[in-house]
Amino acid sequence: AAGVIQSPRHLIKEKRETATLKCYPIPRHDTVYWYQQGPGQDPQFLISFYEKMQSDKGSIPDRFSAQQFSDYHSELNMSSLELGDSALYFCASSWPTHSGNGEQYFGPGTRLTVT
């Protein structure tokens, strides 16, 4: 079965640079979620999109922005990177919320290292 695809899988950036993370949800899933997991921590919700509109916003820094495109893929844009942004970034997708069962399917994550 098709899974959530994230690219790149690994990314190394320097402080103050920008990064773009991409997420391709499972086909027919219309909701995308982004989570950040720091070393030794639990995942923290950043932002979500439903039908290309932002649906919820969590602890996402102002330096980050995200959007969902017409083909339902999503991109997380990160600017002015800081050392503390080093983390594993997960994308998850789910069924349409009106018929969903709450399950989110996670991608393999993008490991971002800021040096």
Return the range that interacts with another protein (CB under 8 A); candidates 18-26, 63-71, 76-84, 89-97: 89-97
| Gyration radius of the chain's alpha carbons | 13
60 or 73: CB nearest another protein: 60
Site string for another protein, 23-62 (x = CB under 8 A): --------x-x-x-x---xxxxx--x------xx-x----
Single residue of 25, 90, 112, 114 touching another protein by CB under 8 A? 90
